[in-house]
Structure 1
């Protein structure tokens, strides 16, 4: 399983999540404590928002702990909204196109989880994409495909409904092929304005997600694992929840793909 961290609030340097804390994202890349695998060395990436509507992005296939450029960039870049990810591959080879975050237009997206039997439904999922979004696909992961499906289903209009439809599509196709219906999905995504996150799994074993304020009441970070030992500071996000962080602070709401998709 992968590890990731995201932030929205007053501008901070990326290093405050990526490299400086005792249990920073770089530390988690080789010593994760709340994942099935302690090592997440199949590449990394960061996406950040600044003065332009589309995010900047830096990705590589090196383990995060071995790339000196990552520490330098994290020390120099200051942003009010960013996503950072270290990868432990489940689907897709170790190559730059498969490293998160994925970006399309103003949207950025990163994911921790899996679709069981993805190889049996991948072609049918891709067939649901418009030509534009199909040709935007550069990697081979289930994560990128879920992101593109959400864009196809109206991520710009209703992030909750679009993500729900993408997950429900994967579940429905798995049922139709007679395979195991298992989706584990803990993801963060943003349009440069709000930061969204979802924690969901069909088997009640979703990848971990925690939230904590960072600075004032409108600045929050979301992480796969707490960045320090201050246990009282970190709130675990429950299974079946969606987080929205905006100028109004952080809000939590129930997330059920079938119900959300039907409400569209």
Structure 2
């Protein structure tokens, strides 16, 4: 399982989340405490928003703790909204194209977890990606596929509904052709204005997710694991969709309607370019 951290609020140096805290994201890359594996060394990435609508993106295949460029960048870049990720592969190759976050236009997206048995229905999953978005399919991960399917489902107009439909579509494939656990995930994504996060699983083992508002910094961190011991972090309940906008935090139920579970119908739709 991967580890990730995101921030929204007053501009902050990236190092305040990525490298400086006692249990920073870089520390979690070799010492995670709430993941199946303590080591997340299959690459890293950061997407950050600044003066332009599209985020900056830096990804590499090195372990996060061994790249001096990462420490230099996080010490110099200040941003009001960023997503950072350290990767532990669940089977796909270690390559830049498979490192998170993924970016399309103004949207950035990162994921921790798995779609059970993905390799056995990968071709079916690829078919869910609309034609006009398929050129953005650069890697081979289930995470990137989920992102592109969600974009096709209308992420810009309906972030919660689009991700529910995309998750339901992949969960349906996992139940038909894959393996349990069918879905375990935490997700963070943004359009450069708001930060969204999800915690969901088809069993009782959803990956951990926390958030914390800081009056001192004027911002909110959303993380896989708390960054410092002794701080008051709010745990996100399973099956939750979170919207963070400034100091406002809204938590709603996240309930994909998957075919083959309780008779509910999946609602995945193919979208093509006009």
Q: What TM-score comes out, normalization by structure 1 length?
A: 0.95
Partner of residue 41, structure 2: 41
Q: How many Å separate the matches in 1 of 2:105 and 2:161?
A: 19
Aligned mates of 1:240, 1:156 — CA distance in 2: 21
**CA gap 1:261/1:223 in 2 versus in 1, 3 angstroms:** farther
Cα shift readout 1:134-169 (whole Å, capped 9, x = no counterpart): 121000000000000000100011000111011100
Q: Which residue of 1 aligns with 2:138?
A: 138
Match of 1:98 in 2: 98
Structure 1 position 9, deviation (Å): 0.6
SS in 1 for 2:133: helix
The residue aligned with 2:9 is 9
The answer for unaligned runs of 5 or more in structure 2 is 258-263, 270-274
> CA shift at 1:216, angstroms?
5.8
Which has the larger displacement, 125-134 or 153-162? Answer: 125-134
3-state secondary structure, aligned to 1:108? strand
Range moving further from structure 2, 50-59 or 116-125: 116-125
Partner Cα distance (1:22, 1:151) in 2:
36
Tell me which residue corresponds to 1:88.
88
**Aligned twin of 1:237:** 236
Match of 2:261 in 1: none
SS of match in other structure, 1:132: coil
Query: What SS does the corresponding residue of 1:131 show, helix, strand or coil?
Result: coil
Higher relative helix content = 1
Deviation at 1:2, TM superposition (A): 0.4
Counterpart residue number, 1:126: 126
Deviation at residue 91 of structure 1 after TM alignment: 3.2
**Structure 1: unaligned runs, 5 residues or longer:** none
For residues 214 and 86 of structure 1, the distance between their equivalents in structure 2, rounded to whole angstroms, comes to 24
Q: Distance in 1 between matches of 2:4 and 2:44?
A: 9
Q: TM-score scaled to structure 2, two decimals?
A: 0.91
User: Matches of 1:107 and 1:245 in 2, distance apart?
Assistant: 15
User: What's 2:260 paired with?
Assistant: none
2:80 is aligned with 1:58: no
User: Per-residue displacement from partner, 1:41-74 (whole Å, max 9, x unpaired)?
Assistant: 0000000000100000000000000000101100
